[in-house]
Structure 1
């Protein structure tokens, strides 16, 4: 387990570069950013937002199973572990959000510019919050209509970031499970995707850097455990050596 923990810890540190840099550089979210760049970030964040997040999850599960090529019983066990790791992260996120009750950056901005008290906002039902956002921004020309709709659909608390937890979990699972198979391209793409998702949450006014940091650390803990369990119950993660393969062929 120590080897897996070291590997996933290094990957988690790489993911933390995004929020730590934003925090240390003094970067502050503003709503008046380049519309084209924001739209690109929006489509990246949509790969995690429902219902697209379900498609992403299913596609990644299929890709992992293909890369690892476990037998049916081990593959089913791995599928279960992957699902538990992702769902456990999302469940932990929901519990923590309700306990911490941290406002999103755009909600804090609404308080400053539109006199919408944060505490009053979060005391409302979700449907009423959505209606309030739409009403307050109907004459706000700086905010694109698609971003307004995104805010209306996601009026929950900020800490920690569920999108980050989803993307970081898959990136760290790739490092933990696919590295022994030397799936370098898959790992690199998933790490870049996770970093892009994390950046999108900052740029869209949905999260503070601390939300991303907490989500990444929680993901690391859950993924490290899941990878250890996968190695213990699903078989070796590394491909068999050539000599063992030849022995197996002759045995058949």
Structure 2
């Protein structure tokens, strides 16, 4: 009996990607964490990690998604029906990931690591004290750290003042890794799949380096996204034909 069905291969590839990503994150966490957030990094180092992190921020994440979609679908052999199914799934993954990630942050109330540095520098009384301030007061407190920490970290702290768990950036890169790696593997584009994995690991580490997250925040994001990914279906037998029919009608009207 042949057990290598499309469903079997799909979950096998999913497991391989998840294990590889998790092992690399665990290795980085063990070897390179914790970090001294008050150290002065080389300009190139700060530039690389800050800009790598930006590829999963807003609006950088939009350009990342567009780039990945072009890499996957441009001149691909996927059928139109397959592409529509994939785009519906991607949209659902994005909406659910954003909503659940935001909800979990509000439930856990986990302070970001940089608030610990601010407390140790006596800028605030305690990490949790930071979250009692208004938005403008938070900015003023972070402004007091200018000159104490590198510009790369300090500028990032100003843009993200919400809670830490789970990591939103790691949630996004895990989504991209799980969704697009499946399509790359189906197309036997292994180099692109490996590059996607390296990018995801790099973004996740950048969050540690910038003082935005702890390893637990990263693994919480990986776990959350895996649950979402396994629950969201791959095919939409009723919606896809309807959308394809509507698109054909629109094409006829414009031609």
Distance 1:83 1:98, change over 3 A: same
Alpha-carbon RMSD across the aligned residues, in angstroms, is 2.5
In structure 2, the partner of 1:180 is: 186
Report deviation, 1:51. Answer: 1.2
Which of residues 133, 136, 139 is equivalent to 1:130?
139
Report deviation, 1:66. Answer: 2.6
Which of residues 162, 166, 177 is equivalent to 1:156?
162
**Separation in structure 2 between the aligned mates of residue 61 and residue 151 of structure 1, nearest angstrom:** 30
CA deviation profile, 1:92-122 (whole Å, cap 9, x unmatched): 1111001001111111111112241222211
**Separation in structure 1 between the aligned mates of residue 66 and residue 181 of structure 2, nearest angstrom:** 18
Distance 1:26 1:190, change over 3 A: closer
Structure 1 contact 121–129 (Cα < 8 Å) conserved: yes
In structure 2, the partner of 1:240 is: none
**Aligned pairs (5 A) from 1:189-208:** 189-208=195-214
Query: Do structure 1's residue 167 and structure 2's residue 173 form an aligned pair?
Result: yes
In structure 1, the partner of 2:41 is: 34
**Separation in structure 2 between the aligned mates of residue 44 and residue 26 of structure 1, nearest angstrom:** 17
Query: Do structure 1's residue 7 and structure 2's residue 13 form an aligned pair?
Result: yes
- Number of residue pairs matched by the alignment: 231
Structure 1 contact 29–105 (Cα < 8 Å) conserved: no
Report deviation, 1:70. Answer: 3.3
CA deviation profile, 1:59-88 (whole Å, cap 9, x unmatched): 222332236543444423321211221232
CA deviation profile, 1:168-207 (whole Å, cap 9, x unmatched): 2111223323212211111111001001001111111111
CA deviation profile, 1:4-39 (whole Å, cap 9, x unmatched): 223212211211124323444583121105233132
**Separation in structure 1 between the aligned mates of residue 153 and residue 201 of structure 2, nearest angstrom:** 20
Structure 1 contact 169–219 (Cα < 8 Å) conserved: yes
**Separation in structure 2 between the aligned mates of residue 209 and residue 67 of structure 1, nearest angstrom:** 39
Distance 1:75 1:107, change over 3 A: same
In structure 1, the partner of 2:130 is: 121
Q: What runs of 5+ residues in structure 1 fail to find an aligned partner?
A: 235-252
Structure 1 contact 18–199 (Cα < 8 Å) conserved: no
CA deviation profile, 1:43-65 (whole Å, cap 9, x unmatched): 11111111111111122223322
Structure 2 contact 17–178 (Cα < 8 Å) conserved: yes
In structure 2, the partner of 1:249 is: none
Report deviation, 1:219. Answer: 1.8
Which of residues 217, 221, 224 is equivalent to 1:218?
224
